[in-house]
Structure 1
Amino acid sequence: MKKPNDQLLEWLRRSAMSRGELARRVRGKALEWGQPHIAPDRTGIRRWLDGESPRRPIPNILADVFSEHFGYRVTTYDLGLGEGTVADDLLVYNSGYAATVETVADLGRADVDRRKFLAAAPFAAFAGVGPSRDWLLNTLDQVPAPGPRVRLEDVTAVKNMFGVFQQLDIFQGGGSGRLALTAYMNEHVFPLLRRTHTDGVRRALCEAAAEQTYLLGWMAYDSGEHGTAQRYLIQSLRLSEESQNAALGSHVLAGMADQATLLGNPSEGRRLAQAGRQGLAKAKSPACMADLWCLEGRALARLGEKRAAAHAVVKSEEAFGKVRPTEEQEWAKFIDGAYLNGEHATTFQDIDDVDNAEAHARRSIDVAARQKRARRGAMSQAALAVTHLRRRDLESAHSAGLRTLSLARQVKSSRCVEAVQDLRRRMEPFGAHRLVADFDERARELVAAA
Structure 2
Amino acid sequence: MPLDHLQVPEELWSRENMRAALGVRDIGTVFRLLARHTGASQTRIGAAVGLEQGYVSRIIAGRKVSSIEVLERIADGCRMPDEARMTLGLAPRRRRCAGDMAAHPRGGQSDAQANRSWREDVQAATQLWEGDVNRRDLLRQTMFSSAGYTLPALRWFTAPAPQPVTQDGRRTVGQPDIDTIREMTATYRRLDNQYGGGHARDAVARYLHQEVTPLVAEGRYDPTTGRRLLTAVAELTQLAGWQAYDMADHGLAQRYLTHALDLSRAAGDAGLGAEILAAMSHQATYLGHTATGVDLARAAQQTARRAGLTVLAAEALVMEAHAHATAHDDRACTVALHGAEQALDRADRSGDPQWLGYFDEAYLSAKFGHCFHALGQHHQAERFAARSLRMDERYVRGKAFNLALLAAIHARHDEPDRASVIGAQALTLTTQLRSARAVRYLRDLQAHLVAHRRRPAVRHFITRVDAVLGPRR
- Shorter-chain TM-score above 0.5: yes
AA in 2 matched with 1:96 = S
Q: Displacement, 1:189?
A: 1.2
SS of the counterpart of 2:390? helix
Q: Displacement, 1:143?
A: 4.8
1:365 match: 389
Q: Given the alignment of the two structures, is residue 51 of structure 1 paired with residue 75 of structure 2, yes or no?
A: no
Q: TM-score, normalised by structure 2?
A: 0.74
- Which digits, 9 at most, give the CA deviation of each residue in 1:215-247, with x for residues without a partner? 000000001100000000000000000110101
Matches within 5 A, 1:99-248: 99-138=120-159, 142-149=161-168, 150-194=173-217, 195-248=219-272
1:412 match: 434
Q: Given the alignment of the two structures, is residue 355 of structure 1 paired with residue 355 of structure 2, yes or no?
A: no
* 1:380/1:89 CA distance change after superposition, 3 Å: farther
How far apart, in 2, do the equivalents of 1:329 and 1:164 lie? 15
How far apart, in 2, do the equivalents of 1:113 and 1:180 lie? 13
How far apart, in 2, do the equivalents of 1:216 and 1:449 lie? 30
CA contact (8 A) 1:382 1:423 kept: yes
Q: Displacement, 1:404?
A: 1.0
Q: Displacement, 1:270?
A: 0.1
5+ residue gaps, structure 1, are 1-46, 56-78
AA in 2 matched with 1:136 = F
How far apart, in 2, do the equivalents of 1:313 and 1:184 lie? 38
How far apart, in 2, do the equivalents of 1:173 and 1:93 lie? 34
Q: Displacement, 1:109?
A: 1.3
1:266 match: 290
1:399 match: 421
* 1:52/1:180 CA distance change after superposition, 3 Å: closer
4+ runs deviating over 3 angstroms: 47-55, 79-84, 86-94, 320-326
* 1:321/1:96 CA distance change after superposition, 3 Å: same
1:339 match: 363
AA in 2 matched with 1:311 = V
Q: Displacement, 1:133?
A: 1.4
* 1:223/1:440 CA distance change after superposition, 3 Å: same
AA in 2 matched with 1:309 = C
How far apart, in 2, do the equivalents of 1:99 and 1:409 lie? 42
AA in 2 matched with 1:420 = L
How far apart, in 2, do the equivalents of 1:389 and 1:358 lie? 11
CA contact (8 A) 1:274 1:292 kept: yes
Q: Displacement, 1:86?
A: 6.0
* 1:251/1:129 CA distance change after superposition, 3 Å: same
Q: TM-score, normalised by structure 1?
A: 0.78
SS of the counterpart of 2:389? helix
CA contact (8 A) 2:406 2:422 kept: yes
AA in 1 matched with 2:262 = R
How far apart, in 1, do the equivalents of 2:150 and 2:381 lie? 31
CA contact (8 A) 1:342 1:376 kept: no
How far apart, in 2, do the equivalents of 1:112 and 1:87 lie? 19
CA contact (8 A) 2:453 2:462 kept: no
1:28 match: none
Q: Displacement, 1:94?
A: 6.8
AA in 1 matched with 2:321 = G
How far apart, in 1, do the equivalents of 2:386 and 2:74 lie? 42
2:277 match: 253
- Which digits, 9 at most, give the CA deviation of each residue in 1:148-202, with x for residues without a partner? 2532222222122211111111111111111111111111112211223211111
- Which digits, 9 at most, give the CA deviation of each residue in 1:244-299, with x for residues without a partner? 01011111100110111111110010000001111123213233222211110011
How far apart, in 2, do the equivalents of 1:317 and 1:153 lie? 39
* 1:429/1:144 CA distance change after superposition, 3 Å: same
AA in 1 matched with 2:329 = E
Identity %: 28
AA in 1 matched with 2:71 = T
* 1:152/1:429 CA distance change after superposition, 3 Å: same
CA contact (8 A) 1:338 1:376 kept: no
CA contact (8 A) 1:94 1:100 kept: no
How far apart, in 1, do the equivalents of 2:370 and 2:66 lie? 46
311-320 or 287-296, larger mean C-alpha shift:
311-320
How far apart, in 2, do the equivalents of 1:222 and 1:424 lie? 20
CA contact (8 A) 1:121 1:227 kept: yes
How far apart, in 2, do the equivalents of 1:292 and 1:96 lie? 28
How far apart, in 1, do the equivalents of 2:222 and 2:247 lie? 37
429-438 or 307-316, larger mean C-alpha shift:
429-438
CA contact (8 A) 1:378 1:405 kept: yes
* 1:449/1:190 CA distance change after superposition, 3 Å: farther
Q: CA RMSD in A?
A: 2.8
SS of the counterpart of 1:334? coil
Q: Displacement, 1:449?
A: 9.5
1:70 match: none
1:384 match: 406
CA contact (8 A) 1:87 1:118 kept: no
How far apart, in 1, do the equivalents of 2:166 and 2:264 lie? 14
How far apart, in 2, do the equivalents of 1:253 and 1:49 lie? 36
How far apart, in 1, do the equivalents of 2:72 and 2:428 lie? 40
Number of residue pairs matched? 378
SS of the counterpart of 2:261? helix
